[in-house]
Chains A and B, each alone.
Chain A
Amino acid sequence: MPEATFRIHRYDPERDGDRRWQEFTVPYESSLTVLEGLFYIQESLDGSLSFRYCCRAAVCGSCAMYINGRYRLACQTNVKNLEDAPITVEPLPHMPLVKDLVCDMTDFFAKYEYVKPYIMHDSKYPEKETLQSPEDRRKLDNPVDCILCGSCYSSCPSVWGEDNYLGPAALLWAYRFEADTRDEARKARVSSFDNERGVYRCHTITNCVEACPKELNPTEAVQWLKGAAVRRRIFGRWK
């Protein structure tokens, strides 16, 4: 049976505290994904290997990893499409490590929450359903596909340099609700990102666009938010 070699980043803070590489040989089938390879290693070769996963269908964003030098979702990465051998699997770079392939997403989700990623109304309970035209809804087609995998956040040099910068994912979600005609959050949300810890820390490096496994464009969203900030101040328009 053909085999595939996985070269995996190992880190155990309790045991050695050192980061090291370990190679595993996995039986290869043409449909093998990187995540399935990791399952095989955990079940048959080394039960101490840690990694995150959940849906196995590129929807939950848990298994984002740095595979063969690119940000990918382990569940949707077919081994047969990877050109280089061995298959190198690392956790998301520039993130605090928990163990092996698991990194600490606390900051990432704190910043996501910080931009109030939900629709807000002036009145607490709207009397009837808020409708939206199909054209207005189409503006949101792109950002709603974000699965919060953290690839963009991990790839952003502005995030590496500034702990307080909200980062591309949180700002993409801020855009998703700012661009939504049903939302009336106004200052409640704008005050979270319309500042130097928010959109103005983005220098349009576009690493996030390259990293995103869903092919979304956080940079464009951030630029839209900057433009909206100027329009709001000059013309007093919130939307």
Chain B
Amino acid sequence: MRQEVLRKGEGGVWPWFLQRITAVLLLYGLTVHLVVLHVLNIGRLTFDNIGDRLGSGFFVFTDFLLLFAVVFHGLNGVRMVLLDYGFQGSKRTALDAALVVIGVAAIAYGIWAFWPWLTD
């Protein structure tokens, strides 16, 4: 390989940076989850209690944050792994498109699951 033969690379900084940001958000979400469900509310996990909690802005905000962070972090991780297996050109465009579709579908499903509590 000569220097001129090296293919020029593209992008990469934002996926890398957002992977770090979402990792921090996941740590935050996990902490809230463990503290609320496994420490504060042990033995009181009924449907009504959980429904009440979803009336609070803090929990709705945290849940949505977690939803976006989990979907991005997971799918971006899969993308990073697959890019190491030679996804280039049109294959790479197809991969990106497929991951966006899966991501949007997952977030739409998450919002749909929240919807009854949001509109009450």
> A: which residues have CB within 8 A of B?
106-107, 110-111, 113-114, 158, 161-164, 194-201, 203, 226, 229-230, 233
Q: Is the CB of B6 within 8 A of A110?
A: yes
Judged by a CB distance under 8 angstroms, whether B89 is at the interface is no
List of 8 A-B pairs having minimum Cβ-Cβ separation, nearest first: A197-B9, A195-B9, A200-B12, A196-B12, A107-B1, A110-B3, A164-B7, A196-B9
Q: Is the CB of A111 within 8 A of B11?
A: no
A200 to B20, CA, bound (A): 13
- Chain B residues near A229: list those with CB within 8 A: 13
Q: Nearest CB to that of A104 among chain B residues?
A: B1
Chain A interface, >50% SS class: helix
Q: Nearest CB to that of B80 among chain A residues?
A: A203
Judged by a CB distance under 8 angstroms, whether B28 is at the interface is no
- Chain B residues near A203: list those with CB within 8 A: 80, 84
Q: Is the CB of B6 within 8 A of A162?
A: no
The size bracket of the interface on B is: 20 to 34
Q: Is the CB of A161 within 8 A of B85?
A: yes
What is the minimal beta-carbon distance from B84 to any residue of chain A, in angstroms?
Answer: 5
Known: A114-B3, A161-B84, A196-B83. A226 touches B9 (CB 8 A): no
Chain B interface, >50% SS class: loop
Q: Is the CB of A197 within 8 A of B8?
A: yes
A161 to B7, CA, bound (A): 15
B1-59 interface with A by 8 A CB criterion: 1-3, 5-13, 15-17
Choose one: B3, B7, B15; the contact of A200 (CB below 8 Å).
Answer: B15
- Jot down 12 A-B pairs with beta carbons below 8 A, ordered by A: A110-B3, A110-B6, A111-B3, A161-B84, A161-B85, A194-B12, A195-B12, A196-B9, A196-B12, A196-B83, A197-B7, A226-B16
What is the minimal beta-carbon distance from B59 to any residue of chain A, in angstroms?
Answer: 31
What is the minimal beta-carbon distance from B95 to any residue of chain A, in angstroms?
Answer: 13
Judged by a CB distance under 8 angstroms, whether B86 is at the interface is yes
Q: Nearest CB to that of A200 among chain B residues?
A: B12
Q: Is the CB of A200 within 8 A of B13?
A: yes
Starting from the known contacts A110-B6, A198-B9, A201-B84, 20 additional A-B residue pairs (CB-CB under 8 Å) come to A106-B1, A110-B1, A110-B3, A110-B5, A111-B3, A113-B3, A161-B84, A161-B86, A162-B84, A162-B86, A163-B1, A194-B12, A195-B9, A195-B10, A196-B10, A197-B7, A199-B12, A200-B15, A229-B13, A230-B17
What is the minimal beta-carbon distance from A212 to any residue of chain B, in angstroms?
Answer: 23
A119 to B112, CA, bound (A): 56
